[in-house]
Chains A and B, each alone.
Chain A
Amino acid sequence: MLFGLPITGETIAFFVLALIIIISAVFMITMTNVMHMAVSLVGVFLGVAGIFILLGADFVGFVQIMVYAGAITILMVFALMLTHRGLSAEMQHEVGALRSTVTFVVIAVLVGTILYAIRRTPWTSNNINALQPFHQSTVTLLANAIFQQYTVPFELVSAVLTVALVGSAVIARKEE
């Protein structure tokens, strides 16, 4: 037994992925070199993609790898390179030690409360012991849901994406 969970392959995979995510996230926060931050960010995103695949959401996991670990990380590194002159040594530091400590304590209390609530709530679930796959391919299920039930939100998302990309091109354009 591991934290009250039976030791199966899924449990081990979950704890390995959780360890990767949390260690990468803590590295991301504590690194002083911004490039190292961007690299450890990939660890977080890939770990989350692994969690998605473990949960039977393979399509969402692959989208996560393509969009987050691929596109968004590249965008971040690109922006870091373009603004590298602005990163003076003084700015790399966080806010003062007092404010940093107070923030840490408040967030620790918040997360502790959430964890306590998660532990005390009686969750009803049908598959306690094993992660069962969906009865159909998730791509089929997602396509049915998106193109029948969620058609209007899907079109709205595509409109938002177009407007946001055109708008960001306009904002970032060099003014003459």
Chain B
Amino acid sequence: MALQPFLALAAILFGIGLFGALTKRNLIIVLISIEMMLNAANINLVAFSHFLSKPNIDGQVYALFTIAIAAAEVAVGLAILLSFFRHRETSDVRDMNSMKW
């Protein structure tokens, strides 16, 4: 196995996630698409960590940090969504157009 197939897979997954994040209207689906893009970045990190001319663990450490920060991001995003839904009865991103309610 070489490095290129892993990078190609990550690029395709990133493209699919970007398409979902740009065209979906439900905020939860947009968050899921962002998670898919973060996963693609993680594949790149781990692949480079394995295929360096001198194999190194640093890429895996960064992947673990990314996973932790992504979990925090999902928690905050869903909390904002629930609070918003309680006020406006919708989870459509087009309705989120004011900074203060």
Contact = CB atoms under 8 A, between A and B. Distances in A.
B67 A141 contact: no
B83 A55 contact: no
A128 B85 contact: no
A163 B80 CA distance: 15
Given A29-B16, A48-B39, A138 B92 contact: no
Contact of B20 (A29, A51, A132, A174): A29
A26 B12 CA distance: 11
By secondary structure, the B interface counts as helix
B65 A51 contact: no
10 contacts: A44-B39, A68-B39, A75-B75, A119-B4, A123-B51, A126-B54, A146-B61, A157-B68, A164-B72, A174-B86
Interface of B: 1-9, 11-20, 22-26, 28-29, 31-33, 35-36, 39, 42-43, 46-47, 49-55, 57-58, 60-61, 63-65, 67-76, 78-83, 85-86, 89-92
